[in-house]
Protein backbone atom coordinates (compact mmCIF):
# COMPACT_ATOMS: atom_id res chain seq x y z
CA UNK A 1 0.00 0.00 0.00
CA UNK A 2 1.19 3.53 -0.75
CA UNK A 3 1.24 5.75 2.34
CA UNK A 4 1.47 9.53 2.46
CA UNK A 5 1.74 11.74 5.52
CA UNK A 6 -1.49 13.70 6.10
CA UNK A 7 0.32 16.77 7.41
CA UNK A 8 0.30 19.51 4.76
CA UNK A 9 3.75 20.57 5.99
CA UNK A 10 5.31 17.15 5.50
CA UNK A 11 6.45 15.54 2.26
CA UNK A 12 7.00 11.97 3.45
CA UNK A 13 5.53 9.10 1.49
CA UNK A 14 5.98 5.35 1.27
CA UNK A 15 9.47 5.74 -0.28
CA UNK A 16 10.85 8.22 2.28
CA UNK A 17 13.83 7.38 4.45
CA UNK A 18 14.59 8.72 7.93
CA UNK A 19 17.93 10.11 9.18
CA UNK A 20 19.26 6.56 9.64
CA UNK A 21 18.38 5.55 6.08
CA UNK A 22 15.49 3.34 7.19
CA UNK A 23 11.99 3.57 5.74
CA UNK A 24 9.74 6.06 7.51
CA UNK A 25 6.93 4.39 9.46
CA UNK A 26 3.31 5.42 9.08
CA UNK A 27 0.51 5.30 11.64
CA UNK A 28 -3.23 5.63 11.10
CA UNK A 29 -4.79 8.87 12.19
CA UNK A 30 -6.78 8.61 15.42
CA UNK A 31 -10.43 7.61 15.39
CA UNK A 32 -11.39 9.33 18.64
CA UNK A 33 -12.94 12.80 18.10
CA UNK A 34 -11.04 14.25 21.10
CA UNK A 35 -7.70 13.26 19.56
CA UNK A 36 -8.80 14.40 16.11
CA UNK A 37 -9.50 17.90 17.40
CA UNK A 38 -6.03 18.01 19.01
CA UNK A 39 -4.44 16.94 15.73
CA UNK A 40 -6.38 19.66 13.87
CA UNK A 41 -5.13 22.26 16.36
CA UNK A 42 -1.54 21.06 16.18
CA UNK A 43 -1.36 20.82 12.39
CA UNK A 44 -3.65 23.84 11.88
CA UNK A 45 -5.90 22.11 9.40
CA UNK A 46 -9.36 20.64 9.20
CA UNK A 47 -8.72 18.81 5.93
CA UNK A 48 -7.28 15.55 7.25
CA UNK A 49 -8.70 12.29 5.92
CA UNK A 50 -9.60 10.63 9.23
CA UNK A 51 -10.91 7.48 7.59
CA UNK A 52 -7.91 6.64 5.39
CA UNK A 53 -5.19 9.04 6.53
CA UNK A 54 -1.79 8.37 8.04
CA UNK A 55 0.81 10.36 9.94
CA UNK A 56 4.52 9.60 9.62
CA UNK A 57 6.87 8.71 12.45
CA UNK A 58 8.87 11.92 11.98
CA UNK A 59 6.18 13.82 13.88
CA UNK A 60 7.35 12.20 17.12
CA UNK A 61 10.73 13.22 18.51
CA UNK A 62 11.29 9.59 19.52
CA UNK A 63 10.68 8.52 15.91
CA UNK A 64 7.78 6.29 16.84
CA UNK A 65 4.25 6.45 18.20
CA UNK A 66 4.05 4.51 21.49
CA UNK A 67 0.28 3.90 21.38
CA UNK A 68 -2.83 5.21 19.63
CA UNK A 69 -3.26 8.09 22.10
CA UNK A 70 0.39 9.19 21.88
CA UNK A 71 0.27 12.78 20.61
CA UNK A 72 2.85 14.04 18.04
CA UNK A 73 5.35 16.63 19.28
CA UNK A 74 7.00 17.67 15.98
CA UNK A 75 4.87 19.76 13.62
CA UNK A 76 7.39 20.07 10.79
CA UNK A 77 10.31 17.66 10.51
CA UNK A 78 13.53 19.69 10.34
CA UNK A 79 14.56 18.68 6.82
CA UNK A 80 11.08 19.54 5.53
CA UNK A 81 11.30 23.00 7.07
CA UNK A 82 14.14 23.85 4.67
CA UNK A 83 12.02 22.64 1.72
CA UNK A 84 9.17 24.89 2.87
CA UNK A 85 11.51 27.88 3.08
CA UNK A 86 12.77 27.18 -0.43
CA UNK A 87 9.20 26.93 -1.78
CA UNK A 88 8.29 30.16 -0.01
CA UNK A 89 11.29 32.00 -1.46
CA UNK A 90 10.59 30.72 -4.99
CA UNK A 91 6.94 31.73 -4.90
CA UNK A 92 7.89 35.12 -3.49
CA UNK A 93 10.35 35.64 -6.36
CA UNK A 94 7.70 34.71 -8.92
CA UNK A 95 5.25 37.20 -7.43
CA UNK A 96 7.93 39.91 -7.17
CA UNK A 97 9.11 39.35 -10.77
CA UNK A 98 5.63 39.21 -12.23
CA UNK A 99 4.10 42.66 -12.31
CA UNK A 100 0.64 41.19 -12.66
CA UNK A 101 0.69 37.77 -11.00
CA UNK A 102 -2.10 35.40 -11.88
CA UNK A 103 -4.70 34.56 -9.28
CA UNK A 104 -3.20 31.05 -9.11
CA UNK A 105 0.25 32.51 -8.30
CA UNK A 106 -1.23 34.79 -5.65
CA UNK A 107 -3.13 31.92 -4.09
CA UNK A 108 -0.03 29.65 -4.03
CA UNK A 109 2.01 32.45 -2.43
CA UNK A 110 -0.61 33.17 0.23
CA UNK A 111 -1.03 29.45 1.05
CA UNK A 112 2.70 28.96 1.52
CA UNK A 113 2.95 32.15 3.56
CA UNK A 114 0.15 30.95 5.90
CA UNK A 115 1.87 27.62 6.54
Question: With 70 as the cut, is the pLDDT of residue 99 above it?
Answer: no
Ramachandran sector of residue 63 (left: φ over 0; alpha: ψ -120 to 50; beta: rest): left
pLDDT, tens digit, 9 for 90 and up, residues 39-75: 888 888 777 889 999 999 999 988 889 988 888 998 8
Report, as an integer, the average pLDDT of 27-48: 87
- Taking the C-alpha atoms of residue 36 and residue 107, their distance in angstroms, rounded to an integer, is 27
pLDDT exceeding 70 applies to what percent of the chain? 97
Length of the chain: 115
Ramachandran sector of residue 52 (left: φ over 0; alpha: ψ -120 to 50; beta: rest): alpha
| DSSP assignment of 76-95 | S-HHHHHHHHHHHHHHHHHH
Report, as an integer, the average pLDDT of 12-24: 86
State residue 56's pLDDT score: 92
Amino acid sequence: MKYFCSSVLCFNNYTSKDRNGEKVKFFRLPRLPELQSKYMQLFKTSGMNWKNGYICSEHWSSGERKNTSDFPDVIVPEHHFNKLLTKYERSKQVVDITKNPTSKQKLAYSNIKKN
